[in-house]
């Protein structure tokens, strides 16, 4: 919220003035132009742009962080297609999300927790009046308008009685007994970011758009949206008689987490019909404007680590399915029909850039726009778009110096025009590090590897700088030509930062991604070291001051690297996997990991699991190593970090374990914890950089 940020910046100015009077240390004037850790609270991001049916306005979610409450929050803003009008629709330290225009463009439905628990609200655009239309016991998700504007559909958790083993006495009246034990009988009993799961399932509901009692549409012991892999939002058929959704309704859905189908649920009686039937995911259904066709994405499951998600079209009854994107060899996500029903818009990643593509029904393909995205990190994240009836569209837009703004175009002229500048005031007085794309050759097999270098502000190529190699997680993911606040803060501390897409990264096709199938970690080591060598060859990196870090899969590769070379002065492994055997038996994705990342159960493939585990190379480690993990990380549980810390301690290697309370995977739930993660890593490197005798030049 701009007003809120102006207030906070004013407070910071008062505090600086008070510090000058009191004699407290302050940042020198010549260093004020650097990005600082506290700027983490100042950066804002646009997401979920929803263009009005007539194409005149875009409502979007504006995300920020509040320094006083240490909370992330989001409000709804609206901007005209020409960018001349821009104002808030909601304000306050709340989470306002998921704005959706009514079919006639007169109302906007959204989800907000401003009165406590998340509920659905509707705003009338002519009067500005807002009504809360639900009072549900659990957070609603995935709202969508019926074609006639009379109803809203959503997904919501429905609890079931917990598993009981016999009966137990009740406490006497007024007694204060301990909390009862938790009885677990499900494979997926906790999930990263959600914590320990209550017994129950997520179901579809509809509610009158003017308020009323929600009516449950789906049934059964299955999830229809919500927590899990590839959760799908429901879409209405044009006649308003049914909802389409992707769901996994197998009896053993926890054992086969990707095997979803497209289902049709009758609004009248909740009866269900499967429209697809194959081994593998069928997701993100989108129905054509005339109701004749359904588009969706998926693949024939071969249980490979990486499988390209393709675009399909089938008849309304599920017959005649065919692939549109056979030749693309890139993952297709978020399919959406063009207003005339002759083609499909979608997002895809290509060589580290998220793009807006178009396939016509005759198989013709073209790229409409590039640099789609919004977020704190250089991953493919926050990419979103919507299209109006007249062919106008809105997208999120990112570049290395643009965290996330709104851009618009038309199908007739898709040239993007950026119509917001959420961080212009901040970056007008802050100098970012320059980002340069590089390609280099892997020493292993001569493959070309893509990467990016960030140099410090006021970079002087005649000087020598320390280097941080930062490795992405996934492992099937990609870095790209996007903003990254963590790497920019490290560059502001005087480091050159290198980040690359080694083999196994997405956005280069299925063959490149599967070079690490059942072979991770492995030869990606050579891609990473070749990148370091390529930057050193430029002459401005001090080869005696090299550092390495990464999170999740990047933490895995960090530990793999220091188990194979001693060239780095220090390492920082964020939420790594250390022991694949224990990982697949404690992580929230156990069945997925065993089926897609490994040849089978660990007890049937002991040598394979051991060979790929970091414990197999830990005896070689001499590098001082910081390990940092959230205590509520259920993706790469704390026990993984504890094993590595104990192993290094037993071996006499300098190491520290940083446990972050209340944080799930990624350590980004609370802004101060995210800032702490960034600082723990760079401060650790600074400590070991000073020991080498190298001066920490150009540091704020």
Q: How far apart are CA 259 and CA 333, in angstroms?
A: 17
Q: Is 125 exposed, middle or buried (0-12, 13-18, 19+ CB in 10 A)?
A: middle
CB 475 within 8 A of CB 556: yes
Q: CA 50, 352, 490 angle in degrees (round to 5)?
A: 95
Q: What is the pLDDT of residues 517-526, one digit of tens each?
A: 999 999 999 9
Q: Where are the domains of the chain?
A: 431-578+613-691
Q: How far apart are CA 274 and CA 247, in angstroms?
A: 10
CB 130 within 8 A of CB 123: yes
Q: Is 31 exposed, middle or buried (0-12, 13-18, 19+ CB in 10 A)?
A: middle
CATH fold of 431-578+613-691 reads Rossmann fold (3.40.50)
Q: What contacts 607, CB < 8 A, 6 or more positions away?
A: none
State pTM to two decimals: 0.92
Q: How far apart are CA 406 and CA 416, in angstroms?
A: 10
Q: How far apart are CA 401 and CA 423, in angstroms?
A: 9
**Angle between the N-to-C axes of helices 485-492 and 671-691, in degrees from 0 to 180, rounded to the nearest 10:** 40
pLDDT category at 118 given cuts 50, 70, 90 is very high
Residue 539 pLDDT more than 60?
yes
C-alpha dihedral sign at 278, 338, 361, 326: negative
CB 369 within 8 A of CB 414: yes
Residue 584 pLDDT more than 70?
yes
pLDDT category at 6 given cuts 50, 70, 90 is very low
CA 362 centroid distance within chain = 33
pLDDT category at 381 given cuts 50, 70, 90 is confident
Residue 5 pLDDT more than 70?
no
User: What distance, in Å, lies between the first and last C-alpha atoms of the chain?
Assistant: 28
Percent of the chain at pLDDT > 90 equals 92
Q: What is the mean pLDDT of the chain?
A: 93
Which residues are paired to 440 by β-bridges?
449
DSSP 5: H
Mean pLDDT of 278-298: 97
Q: Which tokens go with 156?
A: 């919501």
CB 60 within 8 A of CB 76: yes
CB 408 within 8 A of CB 393: yes
pLDDT category at 12 given cuts 50, 70, 90 is very low
Residue 3 pLDDT more than 90?
no
């Amino acid at each position: 919220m701009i007003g809120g940020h102006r207030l906070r910046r004013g407070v910071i100015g008062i505090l600086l003035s008070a510090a000058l009077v009191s004699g407290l240390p302050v940042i020198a004037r010549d260093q004020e132009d650097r990005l600082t850790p506290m700027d983490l609270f100042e950066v804002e991001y646009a997401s979920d742009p929803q263009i009005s049916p007539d194409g005149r306005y875009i409502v979007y979610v504006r995300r920020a962080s509040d320094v006083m409450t240490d909370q992330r929050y989001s409000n709804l803003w609206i901007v005209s297609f020409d960018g001349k009008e821009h104002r808030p629709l909601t304000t306050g330290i709340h989470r306002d999300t998921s704005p959706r225009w009514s079919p006639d463009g007169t109302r906007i439905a959204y989800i907000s927790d401003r009165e406590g628990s998340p509920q659905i609200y509707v705003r009338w655009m002519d009067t500005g009046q807002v009504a809360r239309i639900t009072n549900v016991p659990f957070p609603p998700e995935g709202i969508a308008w019926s074609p006639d504007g009379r109803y809203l559909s959503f997904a919501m958790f429905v609890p079931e009685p917990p598993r009981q083993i016999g009966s137990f006495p009740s406490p006497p009246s007024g007694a204060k007994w301990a909390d009862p034990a938790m009885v677990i009988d499900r494979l997926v009993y906790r999930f990263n970011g959600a914590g320990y799961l209550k017994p129950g399932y997520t179901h579809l509901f509809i509610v009158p758009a003017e308020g009323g009692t929600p009516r449950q549409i789906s049934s059964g012991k299955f999830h229809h949206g919500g927590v899990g892999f590839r959760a799908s939002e429901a879409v209405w058929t044009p006649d308003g008689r049914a909802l389409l959704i992707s769901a996994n309704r197998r009896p053993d859905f926890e054992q086969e987490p990707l095997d979803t189908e497209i289902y049709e649920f009758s609004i009248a009686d909740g009866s269900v019909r499967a429209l697809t039937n194959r081994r593998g995911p069928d997701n993100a259904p989108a129905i054509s404007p005339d109701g004749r066709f359904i588009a969706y994405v998926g693949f024939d499951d071969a249980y490979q680590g990486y499988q390209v998600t393709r675009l399909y079209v089938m008849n309304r009854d599920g017959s005649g399915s065919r692939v549109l994107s056979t030749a693309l060899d890139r993952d297709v996500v978020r399919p959406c029909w063009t207003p005339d029903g002759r083609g499909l818009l979608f997002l895809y990643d290509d060589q580290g850039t998220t793009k807006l593509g178009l396939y016509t029904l005759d198989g013709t393909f073209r790229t409409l726009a590039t640099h789609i995205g919004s977020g704190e990190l250089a991953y493919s994240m926050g990419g979103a778009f919507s299209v109006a009836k007249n062919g106008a569209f809105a997208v999120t837009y990112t570049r290395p110096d643009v965290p996330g703004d709104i851009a618009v175009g038309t199908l007739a002229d898709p040239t993007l025009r950026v119509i917001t500048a959420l961080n212009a005031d901040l970056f007008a007085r802050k100098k970012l590090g320059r980002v340069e794309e590089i390609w280099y050759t892997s020493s292993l097999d001569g493959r070309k590897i893509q990467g990016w270098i960030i140099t410090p502000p006021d970079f002087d190529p005649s000087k020598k700088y320390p280097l941080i190699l930062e490795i992405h997680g996934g492992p099937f993911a990609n870095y790209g030509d996007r903003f990254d606040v963590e790497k920019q803060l490290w560059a502001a501390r005087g480091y050159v930062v290198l980040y690359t897409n080694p083999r196994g990264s997405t956005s280069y096709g299925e063959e490149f991604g599967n070079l690490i199938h059942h072979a991770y970690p492995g030869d990606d080591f050579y891609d990473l070291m070749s990148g370091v060598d390529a930057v050193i060859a430029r002459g401005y990196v001090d080869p005696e001051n090299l550092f390495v870090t990464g999170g999740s899969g990047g933490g895995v590769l960090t530990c793999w690297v220091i188990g194979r070379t001693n060239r780095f002065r220090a390492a920082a492994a964020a939420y790594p996997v250390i022991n694949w055997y224990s990982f697949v038996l404690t992580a929230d994705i156990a069945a997925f990991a065993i089926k897609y990342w490994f040849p089978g159960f660990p007890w049937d493939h002991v040598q394979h699991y051991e060979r790929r585990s970091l414990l197999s190379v830990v005896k070689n480690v001499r590098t001082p190593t910081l390990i940092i993990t959230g205590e509520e990380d259920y993706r790469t549980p704390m026990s993984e970090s504890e094993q590595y810390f104990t192993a290094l301690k037993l071996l006499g290697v300098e190491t520290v374990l940083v446990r972050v309370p209340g944080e799930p995977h990624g350590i980004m739930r609370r802004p101060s914890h995210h800032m702490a993660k960034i600082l723990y890593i760079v401060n650790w490197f600074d400590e070991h950089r000073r020991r080498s005798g190298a001066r920490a030049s150009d540091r704020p």
